Amino acid sequence: MRPGSRRRALWAMLAVALGTAVAAAMLHVSLDIGDKMGRELRTLGANIVITPSADTLPVEIGGIDYRPVSEGAYIEESSLAKLKEIFWRNNIIAFAPYLYMPVRVEGQPASHSSILVGTWWEHPVVTSTGDRFQTGVQQLNPTWKLEGEPIRDSVSDAEGNVCWIGSSLAEALGLGLGDTIRLTAEDEDAEPGAAAGKEELSLVVKGILTTGGAEDNQIFTSLRLVQSWAGLEGKVRKVEVSALIKPEDELSRRDPATMTPAQYDRWYCSPYLSSILHQIGEVLPGTASRQIRQVAETQGNVLSKLTFLLGMLALLALLAAALSISSIASLTVIERRKEIGLMKALGAPDWLVAAFFLAEITVQGVVGGILGFAGGQLLAKVVGRAVFGSDVAVNWMLLPLMLVVALGVSFAGTWLPLKRAVHNDPAWVLREE
């Protein structure tokens, strides 16, 4: 091989390697960071809410149900472990049940109306297969700030009945850690301040909760305590779920009833929000699941835009590599036009002439693809640490794909110059020489 040809072959390998490296890096980042970003976006809170399908019209303000406990339907607490038994069980990151009770907090100089919320803080869930899963509002809302201690999920602990109180309500009542509050159940149909036929409940403030939302004016305690006080053992009003989801596309927006069996299987086996809602309905009959639209749409939009951006960068890098290879191949064909003309004059068919060039291009593509995969992994680590603050794991399944991409870019860049070369008239080429 001539020195000029060797240099051009090396430049072609480098072009393939650089284009493949950028594409491999973007794929590594998209596959690895996509899941990590999905987990980071969980700080937005739950994206699914489950309620009884036979429930009465809720009276909700800021997502809190203000109906008396005597109204509406309930979900069995014992059935919630089934959420970790759906097909996409590993995408269910956290969930927590809620039972609301309107109460009046006795204080000086006046009492205050509030909502007593029974829920899980850190609760162990055991599935029918014996798997254990720790969940609750701490995992569901990682941005909530608690000053004090968490509540054990029991009716009472060694210190007596305890609660967290929202920071705004604590400030209004002048309460701090260790203080005791007295609650009476409040009936919306009764006169203001009238008890709903239940004895007074005293709670020790064990924590002060700050969320920046409606929870800052509420009181939180263990679910079992509220169930016991309300006479609703084993019942919950609603469940909030945080799930990792795949951005919506045309398939996810279709009605499953209109899908072909193959489409339905692909939809069911993809972590779309719609398919996860469907699977929750299968394991929890008698409930209705819906998305918390603002949170779900934000998660889907961010992940969709990230995937689109990385895909465009990879596509542009491969296009630049193909153009570079096309220029190099054109120079190579011009340099070897006499050899091509001589081969054709001696009777060599077009496919044999093309095969000599394609063999060289294949070697360049394979070597460039391997170098590009290795370089892409290094680039992905740099991008992951600099932009996302996270390492990117090696995905060896991308190596065959990168080899195919490298070969495709090499052939695409060489196709037009090679087509012109094999169709040149050998008599004209040799006469020119």
- For residue 43, count CB atoms less than 10 angstroms from its CB and return exposed for 0-12, middle for 13-18, buried for 19 or more: exposed
Residue 78 belongs to a domain: yes
- Residue 38: what residue type? G
Q: How confident is the model at residue 196 (pLDDT cuts 50, 70, 90)?
A: very low
Checking if the pLDDT of 304 tops 80, the result is no
* 278 and 333 part of one domain: no
- For residue 242, count CB atoms less than 10 angstroms from its CB and return exposed for 0-12, middle for 13-18, buried for 19 or more: buried
386 lies in which domain range? 3-36+302-432
Q: Which two tokens stand for residue 324?
A: 């570079």
Best CA proximity match to 310, nearest among 380, 240, 208: 380
Contacts of 109 (CB under 8 A, 6+ apart): none
Residue 310 belongs to a domain: yes
DSSP secondary structure letter of residue 285: T
* 12 and 69 part of one domain: no
* 213 and 239 part of one domain: yes
Give the model's pLDDT for residue 111. Answer: 75
* 278 and 353 part of one domain: no
Q: Which two tokens stand for residue 234?
A: 């084993």
Give the model's pLDDT for residue 75. Answer: 93
* 114 and 211 part of one domain: yes
Residue 13 belongs to a domain: yes
Q: How confident is the model at residue 235 (pLDDT cuts 50, 70, 90)?
A: very high
Checking if the pLDDT of 195 tops 50, the result is no
What CA–CA distance (Å, rounded) separates 342 from 430? 7
Domain final residue pick, 266, 291, 316: 291
Residue 296 belongs to a domain: no
Q: Please check whether residue 11 is in contact with residue 368, taking contact to mean a CB–CB distance below 8 angstroms.
A: no
Residue 320 belongs to a domain: yes
Per DSSP, helices labelled H in 100-189 are 137-140, 167-173
- Residue 192: what residue type? P
Give the model's pLDDT for residue 191. Answer: 41
* 182 and 257 part of one domain: yes
* 315 and 282 part of one domain: no
Q: What are the tens digits of pLDDT across the range 408-418?
A: 888 888 877 77
* 120 and 237 part of one domain: yes
Total structural domains within the chain: 2
Residue 297 belongs to a domain: no
CA dihedral 281, 286, 292, 298 (to 10 degrees): 0
Q: How confident is the model at residue 262 (pLDDT cuts 50, 70, 90)?
A: very high
* 31 and 56 part of one domain: no
Q: Please check whether residue 323 is in contact with residue 72, taking contact to mean a CB–CB distance below 8 angstroms.
A: no
Domain final residue pick, 291, 318, 339: 291
Q: What are the tens digits of pLDDT across the range 151-174?
A: 776 544 545 688 999 999 998 888
* 262 and 314 part of one domain: no
Q: What are the tens digits of pLDDT across the range 352-390?
A: 666 777 777 788 888 888 888 888 888 888 877 776 666
Domain final residue pick, 271, 291, 311: 291
* Average pLDDT for 106-112: 69
User: Helix, strand or coil for residue 201?
Assistant: strand
pTM here?
0.64
* 234 and 373 part of one domain: no
Which contiguous run of DSSP H or E holds residue 290? strand 287-291
Q: Which two tokens stand for residue 349?
A: 């068919």
* 66 and 182 part of one domain: yes
